[in-house]
Amino acid sequence: MVLSCPGPMRRHSTALISLKKLALPQVFLGGESQCLAFSAASGTRHMVFAPAPEMFSDPVSLHAAWQAVGKKTHATGALVHLRFGGVRQSRILKGARNGAVIAEAEMAPPISSSRHPFASGRVLPAAMLRLFVYGTSSLRPASIGGAKLPAADLPKNYITADLEAAAGQIPARGRGFGGIDLVCLAEYEAGAWAAGQVDKPAAMPGSVQPIIILPWNMADFGSIVPELLRRLATFHRPGAPFPAVVLMPFNDPGMSGMIGDLRKTIGKAAESPGEVLQTIFLVRVTHLRGLAWLKTLSRTVWVDGNDPESWWTMARFTAAGFDPVALPADEPIRIEADTPFGTLHFDTKIPALRMLPHLLASLQGTGRAG
């Protein structure tokens, strides 16, 4: 069985990787976590990971990679490929039986999209034969020809099985803060972040002011997170205490420019850009042992309820001992996003400006969680 999901290519040096040697950029949220939770729940040893399954064009190249990870050539006769992550980022492995594991919930589609065949987020490649879903609320994308695909429900333990087994896992990589990559947005460099070369930031999240953990699904092009951060930046006053935001990007394709664009947007909105950018931190969990470190910062998690994966995010944070809350959203907005699938427009909702002071006030006294 070959597993795959979207993510930065810089972290992988071979075309097939044993799961024991796999070091994903972040392991707690999104497609990467879905992949690891599935492998932990299934309990089979006959699994490998393919960073780019679409690269295999014929059996010869696949057999060479298969032998490179210590497998016998004849073992490739009955391959199954499971794709995790957003529907728009689906890929297939030629010569295998392909299935898609769907964690996205049924949400309103974009109100307008390009002619790209996968722009709607509801279509899968023709070679996909089956869906594996997490219940009745899961999105059920069709084949590109419009055919309905058979779907099988996954048991509940397929959501958090890796969290349950985390204590017994052998660390694949011990960088940074013990399973955490952390960088101040003011010090962010796209190349270093994509490659995982993250040093301890000059400024750390404060020990007195409240700290908000804010997950950001970068595969959700209608996400309200960038606009929410822009609005929060307008409330900052030079020299005044302000909550720190620990931004957790996930489903990050790598080198997309989205984080750099966010930094520019926040800088333009803030009265004192330098100060605001020093209060926002990018964090990712590179090993599940890093969750204990993250909890010393805060247990308060604001989740964008419009995100198709918000239920997964809430379930993972809850199982890990955090206190996630879905952000109250009452102001309709329209988001225009330039994406690899063309320009997409989304109608969604965001906390109104009048609501933000109340949300910030509710944080007072929470401080550091340790």
Pull the structure tokens for residue 163: 């969290």
Given this model, what pLDDT does residue 105 score? Answer: 97
Angle formed at CA 182 by CA 198 and CA 294, multiple of 5 degrees: 145
Backbone angles phi, psi at 223, to 5 degrees: -60, 140
Question: Residue 364 has what pLDDT?
Answer: 66
pLDDT at residue 129, rounded to an integer? 95
| CATH value at residue 356 | 3.40.50
Q: What is the pLDDT of residue 75?
A: 55
- Which of 164, 197, 229 finishes a domain? 164
Question: CB under 8 Å to 239, separation ≥6 — which residues?
Answer: 275
Q: Looking at the 3D structure of the chain, how many domains does it have?
A: 2
Residue 153 shares a structural domain with residue 205:
no
Pair 178, 247 in one domain:
yes
Residue range(s) defining the domain that contains residue 229: 174-361
pLDDT the model gives residue 370: 39
Q: Do 19 and 144 belong together in one domain?
A: yes
Return the pLDDT at 76. Answer: 52
- 143 and 257 share a domain? no
- Domain presence at residue 169: no
What value does the CA radius of gyration of the chain take, rounded to a whole number of Å? Answer: 21
Query: End of a domain among 164, 199, 223?
Result: 164
Q: What is the pLDDT of residue 369?
A: 45
Claim to verify: residue 333 and residue 224 sit in the same structural domain = yes
**Beta strand pairing status for 151-153 and 128-133?**
parallel
Q: What is the residue type of 86? A: G
pTM score above 0.85: yes
In Å, how far are 31, 58, 192, 217, 281 from 26, measured between CA atoms?
10, 31, 15, 13, 15
Q: Are residues 160 and 185 in the same domain?
A: no
Task: Identify the residue whose tokens are 């429900």.
Answer: 153
Show the 3-state SS of the chain.
CEEECCCCHHHCCCCCEEHHHCCCCCCCCHHHHHHHHHHHHHCCCCCEECCCHHHCCCHHHHHHHHHHCCCCHHHHHHCEEEECCCHHHCCCCCCCEEEEEECCECCCCCCECCCCCCCCCCEECCCEEEEEECCCCECCCEECCCCCCCEEECCCHHHHHHHHCHHHCCCCCCCECCCEEEEEHHHCCHHHHHHCCCCCCCCCCCCCCCEEEEEEECCCCCCCHHHHHHHHHHCCCCCCCCCEEEEEEECCCCCCCHHHHHHHHHHHHCCCHHHHHCCEEEEEECCCCHHHHHHHHCCEEEECCCCCCHHHHHHHHHHCCCEEEECCCCEEEEEEEEECCEEEEEEEEECCCCCHHHHHHCCCCCCCCC
CB neighbour list of residue 310: distance below 8 Å, 6 or more residues apart: 105, 303, 304, 326
Which tokens hold the place of 324? 């996630």
Other Cβ atoms within 10 Å of 200 Cβ, number: 9
pLDDT at position 204 is 75
Asked, for residue 369, whether it belongs to a domain, the answer is no
**Both 54 and 194 in a single domain?**
no
Residue 286 belongs to some domain of the structure: yes
| pLDDT value at residue 171 | 45
Q: Based on the domain organization, do 235 and 116 belong to the same domain?
A: no
Q: Determine, yes or no, domain membership for 370.
A: no
Q: How far apart are CA 181 and CA 193, in angstroms?
A: 9
- Residues in the chain with pLDDT values less than 50: 169-176, 367, 369-370
Q: Looking at the structure, do residues 205 and 349 belong to the same domain, yes or no?
A: yes
Kindly state whether residues 243 and 299 are assigned to the same domain. Answer: yes
